[in-house]
Copies of this chain bind each other. A is one copy, B any other.
């Protein structure tokens, strides 16, 4: 008898709120687990298409294929949302060799949006670590004709933690600690200064007559990444640049310290594609039965870097979004609210796809300073523009769910300080608690496509995911390939997402919203800036 007393509230918790269609959740689970297509979708995006740099020919392929899939599955209003981005760029081939003092093929990759070498560039290196403008003086007059190694060579890493992890209960508990917002304009200005340094460095190297430059990979183990940000049409760097594997970079640096400067041969056969300076989000709907009920949305960015095949970041998220759409559509679900699926572009360079969505459909922010020209800076300054003027569609978006943390199992949602929304989110996730996805924690997250929605007060949330080896070695690296995706996790993710969207679309309730943000006060008005941080 005591058992029934205890069980009663548990049963209440476990009952989905969308009790109108209790079968539907189990049909979603059946379709998503017994008839899954999520790995086939991911395999096409990664193996067949490969790394999908914004505006590259590969990304164009991915835009066409994903839109076509949505259409084939019968989704409505499948469309491309264009926004001005910049140049396409891709790697046709590349090779970096040390030719003296002894021949070695180095592990290296051209840095994104750097220009080609136009054949083989052969030159001695010079190790000239520079982090700030004041470091330039030491190297003035010494760089002509050289390939300049600009990173300070460090020492090898000591990976004392397992590369592959799953979240334990206590890890998730730690995320559920309310974190007060901070507004520290000075630290933002410091960041802006650091970001503009790379362009000053490029200009300095060019002015000094250097013929190319190289930096060290930020991960050991011969992993490569190659991120770069000079993607504006009039913004191309003057010199070819490559990222060299840490082990190879440090060997070059030691050889240069103990003997004659090693000579490199760099062949960076990279290509620009200016046929269309617009990037495109792919949007597709399952229309709702009640046009006044608004819509719910899920999204992931389709673009990636190019050292790997853009699998965990973010073929995985894209495939889960697409699979959730396929599952819901294939079951003939007719939700009350429209369910919208979004595949964003330009995420890796500054969340530009979701920014374009906010600008076009949700709210107008005050104009930014003139120097914001499709660059990283825009990303960091965008949220500092006030006032925010909601557009007519602002209130229609009832919830947005974003996936961008690899292929790990969905473990719940970050509530982004919206403590009033926690109980409803928990309710919607409760059917998936036994799949590990029942958690809602208060912490905010950033750096992906829900961020600009959160920043205007729209309930946009990111999933908690098992980290697997995403941060430790896969994120942006050459091993971001299909076989680092976990099929069981991906199937769980698609099912949880589809089930959550279904409930959010049919619920009698909508999520409590945050107040419309206004210019926040400086968190610590009494603080002195430490000049040594400059």
Contact between B220 and A479 (Cβ–Cβ < 8 Å)? yes
When distances are taken between beta carbons in the complex, the residues of chain B under 8 Å from A479 are 220-222, 247
When distances are taken between beta carbons in the complex, the residues of chain B under 8 Å from A481 are 247, 250-251
Contact between A47 and B251 (Cβ–Cβ < 8 Å)? yes
Q: List CB contacts (< 8 Å) of A428-482 with chain B.
A: 468-469, 473, 478-479, 481-482
A residues with CB within 8 A of B:
43, 47-50, 92-95, 97, 101-105, 107, 155-165, 220-223, 246-247, 250-251, 254-255, 258-259, 308-309, 468-469, 473, 478-479, 481-485
Q: How far is the CB of A68 from chain B (nearest CB, A)?
A: 17
When distances are taken between beta carbons in the complex, the residues of chain B under 8 Å from A485 are 156
Bound CA–CA A175/B501 (angstroms): 55
When distances are taken between beta carbons in the complex, the residues of chain B under 8 Å from A222 are 222-223, 478-479
Q: How far is the CB of A288 from chain B (nearest CB, A)?
A: 36
Contact between A469 and B93 (Cβ–Cβ < 8 Å)? no
Bound CA–CA A259/B40 (angstroms): 13
Bound CA–CA A513/B164 (angstroms): 46
Contact between B162 and A43 (Cβ–Cβ < 8 Å)? no
Q: How far is the CB of A49 from chain B (nearest CB, A)?
A: 8
**Would you mind naming 26 contact pairs between A and B with Cβ atoms under 8 Å apart?**
A48-B101, A48-B255, A48-B258, A48-B259, A49-B102, A92-B103, A93-B103, A156-B485, A157-B164, A159-B469, A160-B164, A161-B162, A162-B162, A221-B221, A221-B479, A222-B222, A222-B223, A222-B478, A247-B308, A247-B481, A247-B483, A250-B483, A251-B309, A251-B482, A251-B483, A254-B482
Bound CA–CA A102/B255 (angstroms): 37
Contact between A164 and B155 (Cβ–Cβ < 8 Å)? no
Most chain-B Cβ atoms within 10 A of its Cβ — which of A103, A157, A158? Answer: A158
When distances are taken between beta carbons in the complex, the residues of chain B under 8 Å from A251 are 47, 309, 481-483
Bound CA–CA A479/B248 (angstroms): 9
Bound CA–CA A104/B308 (angstroms): 10
User: Residue A484 contacts which of B95, B156, B223, B484 (CB distance < 8 angstroms)?
Assistant: B156
When distances are taken between beta carbons in the complex, the residues of chain B under 8 Å from A247 are 308, 478-479, 481, 483-484
Contact between B156 and A483 (Cβ–Cβ < 8 Å)? yes
When distances are taken between beta carbons in the complex, the residues of chain B under 8 Å from A102 are 48-50
When distances are taken between beta carbons in the complex, the residues of chain B under 8 Å from A164 are 157-160
Integer count of this chain's copies in the complex: 2
Bound CA–CA A94/B103 (angstroms): 11
Q: How far is the CB of A428 from chain B (nearest CB, A)?
A: 30
Q: How far is the CB of A171 from chain B (nearest CB, A)?
A: 15
User: Residue A483 contacts which of B94, B223, B246, B468 (CB distance < 8 angstroms)?
Assistant: B246
Contact between A43 and B163 (Cβ–Cβ < 8 Å)? no
Q: How far is the CB of A31 from chain B (nearest CB, A)?
A: 22
Nearest first, the 6 A-B pairs at minimum CB distance are A156-B483, A159-B163, A158-B164, A247-B481, A250-B483, A159-B164
User: Residue A155 contacts which of B49, B104, B483 (CB distance < 8 angstroms)?
Assistant: B483
Bound CA–CA A484/B157 (angstroms): 8
Contact between B101 and A94 (Cβ–Cβ < 8 Å)? no
Bound CA–CA A101/B46 (angstroms): 13
Query: Can you add 4 more A-B contacts, CB < 8 Å, to A93-B103, A221-B473, A250-B481?
Result: A48-B255, A95-B95, A158-B469, A160-B165
When distances are taken between beta carbons in the complex, the residues of chain B under 8 Å from A165 are 160
When distances are taken between beta carbons in the complex, the residues of chain B under 8 Å from A163 are 159, 163
Contact between A47 and B483 (Cβ–Cβ < 8 Å)? no
Contact between A105 and B94 (Cβ–Cβ < 8 Å)? yes
Closest residue to A485 on the B side, CB-wise? Answer: B156
Bound CA–CA A89/B474 (angstroms): 35
When distances are taken between beta carbons in the complex, the residues of chain B under 8 Å from A473 are 221
Closest residue to A50 on the B side, CB-wise? Answer: B102
Most chain-B Cβ atoms within 10 A of its Cβ — which of A47, A92, A165, A250? Answer: A47
Bound CA–CA A255/B103 (angstroms): 33
Q: How far is the CB of A473 from chain B (nearest CB, A)?
A: 6
Contact between B483 and A43 (Cβ–Cβ < 8 Å)? no
Bound CA–CA A162/B160 (angstroms): 5
Closest residue to A468 on the B side, CB-wise? Answer: B158
Bound CA–CA A107/B109 (angstroms): 12
